[in-house]
Structure 1
Amino acid sequence: MKNVMSAYIGGLLGFLILDGLWLGLIAKDSYTQAMAGLMRSEVHIWPWVVFYSLYCLAIVQLVIRPQFSARQGKGVLLNGAVLGAAAYGAYNMTNYALLADWPLGISLQDWAWGTVVTSFSSYCGWRAQRLAS
């Protein structure tokens, strides 16, 4: 249980830090410009809390736990990238398919980012559980 909690906290912290940098600094302007007509005037925080909490549970269960005993993190990085590509691809391609003003450029950018952030967050969680054990 200690390993699972360490993996969850490590993955969640990695995800929050990386995604905070991405959404708050690096890609903020491109997202805001591309989706200006779609943005709420007041952001709802609870959907983010739900997403981050559940997505990091999925990362632990599907990516990190199968690699607990691995000596290197290559499998974690690869499997995290696969999970990220699947999850963010489903989200972005569904939005692009269904929403009239959903920008393709943002979909592709976000899909790539989701692949990268899930991979690195998976590694952070794997590393945290290795340090805790």
Structure 2
Amino acid sequence: MKKAVMAYIGSLLGFLLLDAIWLGLVAKNSYIQAMQGLMREDVHVWPWVVFYSLYCMAIVYLVVLPRKDSDSGRPVLAAGAVLGAAAYGAYNMTNYALLAGWPLGISLQDWAWGTVVTSLSSYCGWRLARR
């Protein structure tokens, strides 16, 4: 149980830090520019809390715990990338298919980012669980 909690904390902290850098600094302007007419004036925070909480639970359950005894982080990084590609691909391609004005460029950028951030967050959780 302790390993699962540590894996969750590591994954969540890694995800929050990386996503804050991505959304707050690196890609902020491209998201704002591409989705100008789609963005809310008043951002709802609770959906982010729900997403980050549940998604990091999925990372721990599907990626970290099955590989907790691995001597290498490579399988964790690879499995995290697969989970990220599947989850973010489903989200972005569904939005692109259904929502008028949803930009393909942002979908592809976000899909790639979701693959990377899930992989790295999985690794963070794995590393902390192994301590």
TM-score (norm 2): 1.00
What number of residue pairs does the alignment pair up? 131
Secondary structure of residue in 2 paired with 1:102:
coil
- Describe the SS at the equivalent of 1:43: coil
- For residues 21 and 88 of structure 1, the distance between their equivalents in structure 2, rounded to whole angstroms, comes to 18
Give the residue type in structure 1 aligned to 2:99: L
Measured after TM superposition, the shift of residue 80 of structure 1 is 0.1
Percent same amino acid among aligned pairs? 74
Distance in 2, Cα, partners of 1:87 & 1:54 = 12
Residue 98 (str. 1) matches residue 116 (str. 2): no
Structure 1 runs not aligned, ≥5 long: none
Q: Which runs of 4+ in 1 moved over 6 A?
A: none
Q: Distance in 1 between matches of 2:69 and 2:29?
A: 41
Matched, 1:15 2:20: no
Aligned AA (2:98): L
Aligned equivalents of 1:61, 1:75: Cα separation in 2: 15
Partners of 2:68 and 2:115 in 1: how far apart? 21
Aligned-pair Cα RMSD in Å: 0.3
SS in 1 for 2:64: helix
Q: How far 1:32 moved relative to its partner? A: 0.1
2-side partners of 1:86 and 1:72: how far apart? Answer: 23
Deviations 1:55-89 (A, max 9, x none): 00000000000001001110000000000000000
- After TM superposition, give the deviation of residue 14 of structure 1 in Å: 0.1
The answer to whether the aligner puts 1:108 opposite 2:108 as a matched pair is yes
Alignment of 1:49-68 (within 5 A): 49-68=49-68
Which amino acid in structure 1 is aligned with residue 48 of structure 2?
A: W
Letter of the 1:24 counterpart:
G
